[in-house]
Amino acid sequence: MVKHVRTDWERTYNTLSDGSYISWLGNVCYISNGVFHKADGPAIEMSSGYKAWFNCGKLHRENGPAVERVDGSDEWWVDGKQTTKLLQEEAVLIWKMNEAMR
């Protein structure tokens, strides 16, 4: 639910009940407590197709690349630390195995 909307030239600033986001010319950035953050999707979505997932201001995504570019390149990050697809998949597998053993 939108609490407040203010339009300033080409930008629209919206304050949501669960945080804030700024959108302009088809680009959207989700901000919470002054840092990029969105729990259920990319915190930055550019009209060009660029996407970046952030958790509490750190690049972070557990089920895919944290940065996706239009040219198909990507970057894998967990809790602000860069990793690789293979290392991340191994870490998720180990975590699932540990959870199953509990």
pLDDT in tens, 1-58: 333 334 444 455 555 555 566 777 778 888 888 788 998 999 999 989 999 999 999 9
pLDDT of residue 30: 86
| pTM exceeds cut of 0.85 | no
The answer to whether the CB of 61 falls within 8 A of the CB of 79 is no
- Would you state the pLDDT for residue 26? 75
Yes or no: say if 41 and 23 are a contact pair by the CB < 8 Å rule.
Answer: no
- Confidence at residue 15, expressed as pLDDT on a 0 to 100 scale: 54
